[in-house]
Structure 1
Amino acid sequence: MVNDELANLVAQGESETLEFKKTTGERVEAAKTACAMLNHRGGVVLIGVADDGTVTGQEVGDGTIERLAEELQNIDPPVFPTIDRTDVGNGKTVLAIRVGNTTRRMTQEEYSQTLLERMHSEERWENQPAFGWSIDDLDLAEVRRTVGEAVRMGRLSDPGTTDPSDLLLGMGLVKDGALLRAAVALFGNNRRIESEWTQCLLRVARFHGIDRSEFLDNRQFRGNAFTLLTQAERFILEHMPIAGRITPESFIRVDEPLYPPLALREALANAFCHRDYTSGGGSVGVGIYDDRLEITSTGPLHFGLTPERLFLSHESQPWNPLIANAFYRRGIIEQWGRGTIKT
């Protein structure tokens, strides 16, 4: 959303398809309004606009979006609203929650996809019980390490316990006493994953030239998501070109990798968070060529996202939110809900 569009919306005034909320302190009311709009014709809720139409904006951080998204997740049946941001100056932002479709009819294909995605919110691969698995089958040190990092970074309140059952419950990875598949994908014992969960696979390759006609190195790894992330980073570091330069001030050599490590790490994490785990032949892939590096994962784009929209401002809607949440808590995903465009 751009400022002109925001101004036009505000000028229309509140109606059955448009409502103003001054701050996200009213997020409960905003979610109720969004729900009511869904039962009619859809609409927009603007947060950061007073009842009289004054655009006040508010400071918006990662936690702001996360708390708002959590409130919207309470809508039943589940929905996938779009949350747009508009900078209104002085470090303030207006958030626009868009629900429903008020501009055109859906095609049958779009309608079917929407139904699939709404069903996915309640019943998806990652939030189903991991039958035959128990907490003893997990890497408990990795569980504690994840919670410890989350507390240290202020992304999780101190649970006051180191009991794995309580820690997993706090991350939403246990339901009705049953361990969920997301917990196994994140923390499962690597040896057991190798033999039972073939989709927890990482394929890495260094190609000669700019196509796949000749390998210089080709490997495969199976294991939990954190193990595979580490293996992918190691492989990239082994094969990534390093540029060296001498700083005039100190005459010390400074080595700079061709691709920024933090950007690579977040790209890898996104591949694990957004991939489709339902396919037994699925995987995350890393291909290094002479002129580029490719990171791929199994599964299509969802929620109306297209390759073109990846280069525009958009909200991130993880296909596996439990796995994504663990990566965020761990500090591997640096931004929550901001899509592929970073400022």
Structure 2
Amino acid sequence: MNFSELQKSIAAGESLTLELKKSTAERERACRSLCALANGQGGQVVFGVTPSGKVVGQKVTDRTLEELAQEFQGFEPPLSPKLQRIPVTEGDFRGLEVLLVQVERAKHAPVSFRGIPYERVLNTTRVMPRANYHRLLIESMHTTDRWEMQPAVGCSEDDLDSREIVVTLEESIRRGRSVDPGTRDIMGILRGLGLLVNGEQLSRGAVALFCKDEVALPEFPQFNLRVARFKGSSRDEFLDNRQYTGNAFALMRRAERFLMDWLPVAGKIVSGQMTRIDTPALPTEAVREALANAFIHRDYISAAGSVAVALYDDRLEIISPGELHFGLTPEILYQPHESKPWNPWIAKVFYRRGLIETWGRGTLKIASLMQEAGLPVPTLHENTGSVLMTFKLPEQSRGVNVGVNVGVNVGVNALFAYIQANPGQRAGEMAVLFKVTQRTIERWLKQLREADRIEFIGSSKIGGYYQKQ
């Protein structure tokens, strides 16, 4: 960096990644800021510039560098700041130098300086709160000590839904995301999915993904979903309130079914045709992506947490327990960013199942789908211990209650959307889920098959199921 580039860099003043110091006489405070930057996104401390951005320079000698190096010994774990000397080539201080010190985001955070961890908040440095220190400590152990890859002590193959596992493999093969192993042995499939640890022990991730539906496991009370439809725009009065227990795929299906029941549907007649087109108030694919993200990225450590879906007259909220990690913020998530799933093995299985398309693009895809529908991009907020995504409902659909007694066209379209998202379902199971008779489901299935929208795979007596054609 030359002097002209330095001037451009400091023109905007101090920030989340930039600290200005008049001279190295402030080196102790500067090291606190370097510690904070290393615990955040990384950044620079510049000596020889006043906090207002005026370049004054200083005389940099070997003694100056030795004193800085000695101060750097206070970092734990050690940091290796990069130093650059930049001659002042303009103004009254020509001939002096500016010293630029840069640190990257620490690979082994949290970093402390003289035994105290610091963090950066906007353009200031402060002592890191205990909760933030604990979060960084967990992130630093993420590679080797994740919840999803710990042994599921006390659980065995009998606790898993074998059909859900087989459907996951077959859907992955159909999409070209797995090679057919030539066997449908359950433990063999789990091994191929990377969900066994310590030899043949089930991982917690395997249980989260495939435990038997509606079978409460005392060891894992967090395998839970809460859904609610509130009257108006507050939580004062319920119109519907349900809780479910089960594996991640089953819970996601129930969340989708709840939204099919309650999300307003706009219907219009096509000009010149005896055809009615029913369109959900929100793009189905965007909502499904948000639900998948909630299950993939949630913090499964907390036994009290559960994914929640809350629908009001004016908005839909999807709540995932946990926090954003690795320096991600709501703003960064709506920009191209590196994929850093909190539960990467669970994310891989969702990807193979076809419930997400690519890593690191979930929020971008949601934003794109909403914009294509002429709707505002959903907001993303971090609340205490949770991440909240909020979809605003279109003005014309607010206050409209659909309920479970939907019309025939709506039911057929809803069934098709469900089969598309959840291949491998049987008529009897879908009748229970949709709260209609099996005869009604079979009539809807017939319409979809005659329209070449779905196909039936396998035997009608044993193991047969429906999927999108």
The CA deviation at 1:191 is 4.7
Pairing partner for 2:180 from 158, 166, 190? 158
| Cα separation, partners in 2 of 1:339 and 1:265, compared to 1, 3 Å | closer
Paired residue for 2:105?
101
| Cα separation, partners in 2 of 1:289 and 1:306, compared to 1, 3 Å | same
**For 2:214 and 2:290, how far apart are their aligned partners in 1?**
26
Instruction: Give the total of aligned pairs.
Output: 246
Is the contact made by 1:140 and 1:164 (CA closer than 8 Å) also made in structure 2? yes
1:226 has 2:249 as partner: yes
**Helix, strand or coil for the counterpart of 1:302?**
coil
Paired residue for 2:353?
330
**For 1:320 and 1:134, how far apart are their aligned partners in 2?**
21
Give percent identity, aligned residues only. 55
Paired residue for 1:197?
220
**Helix, strand or coil for the counterpart of 2:141?**
helix
Is the contact made by 2:356 and 2:362 (CA closer than 8 Å) also made in structure 1? no
Question: Residue by residue, what CA displacement relative to the aligned partner does 1:250-308 show, whole Å, maximum 9, x if unpaired?
Answer: 34110000111111111111100100111111100000011111100110111101122
Paired residue for 1:187?
210
Is the contact made by 1:313 and 1:341 (CA closer than 8 Å) also made in structure 2? yes
- Tell which structure's C-alpha radius of gyration is larger: 2
**Helix, strand or coil for the counterpart of 1:145?**
helix
**Helix, strand or coil for the counterpart of 1:122?**
coil
Is the contact made by 2:231 and 2:237 (CA closer than 8 Å) also made in structure 1? yes
Matches within 5 A, 1:1-343: 100-101=104-105, 108-109=117-118, 112=133, 113-175=135-197, 176-342=199-365
Larger relative contact order (C-alpha < 8 A, sep ≥ 6)? 1
Question: Residue by residue, what CA displacement relative to the aligned partner does 1:183-237 show, whole Å, maximum 9, x if unpaired?
Answer: 0000012354354421111000001111111111111111111110111011010
Question: Residue by residue, what CA displacement relative to the aligned partner does 1:24-79 show, whole Å, maximum 9, x if unpaired?
Answer: xxxxxxxxxxxxxxxxxx9xxxxxxxxxxxxxxxxxxxxxxxxxxxxxxxxxxxxx
**For 1:312 and 1:270, how far apart are their aligned partners in 2?**
16
Question: Residue by residue, what CA displacement relative to the aligned partner does 1:128-184 show, whole Å, maximum 9, x if unpaired?
Answer: 000111112210110000000000001111111111111000000012211100000
The CA deviation at 1:100 is 4.2
**Helix, strand or coil for the counterpart of 1:256?**
strand
**For 1:109 and 1:149, how far apart are their aligned partners in 2?**
47
Deviates more, 1:257-266 or 1:142-151: 257-266
| Cα separation, partners in 2 of 1:163 and 1:100, compared to 1, 3 Å | farther
**Helix, strand or coil for the counterpart of 1:308?**
helix
Paired residue for 1:70?
none
**Helix, strand or coil for the counterpart of 1:259?**
coil
| Cα separation, partners in 2 of 1:267 and 1:226, compared to 1, 3 Å | same
The CA deviation at 1:337 is 2.7
Amino acid at match of 2:320: S
Question: Residue by residue, what CA displacement relative to the aligned partner does 1:105-137 show, whole Å, maximum 9, x if unpaired?
Answer: 977355945443131121011100001111122
Provide the TM-score with structure 2 as the length reference. Answer: 0.50
Amino acid at match of 1:291: D
Is the contact made by 1:276 and 1:299 (CA closer than 8 Å) also made in structure 2? yes
**For 1:324 and 1:240, how far apart are their aligned partners in 2?**
27
Instruction: Provide structure 2 residue ranges, at least 5 long, that are not aligned to the other structure.
Output: 1-41, 43-102, 120-127, 369-469
Amino acid at match of 1:186: L
**Helix, strand or coil for the counterpart of 1:147?**
helix
Is the contact made by 1:193 and 1:224 (CA closer than 8 Å) also made in structure 2? no
**Helix, strand or coil for the counterpart of 2:318?**
strand
Instruction: Provide structure 1 residue ranges, at least 5 long, that are not aligned to the other structure.
Output: 1-41, 43-98
Deviates more, 1:331-340 or 1:231-240: 331-340
Amino acid at match of 2:236: S
Amino acid at match of 2:264: P
**Helix, strand or coil for the counterpart of 1:273?**
helix
Amino acid at match of 2:234: D
**For 1:276 and 1:296, how far apart are their aligned partners in 2?**
12
Amino acid at match of 1:237: M
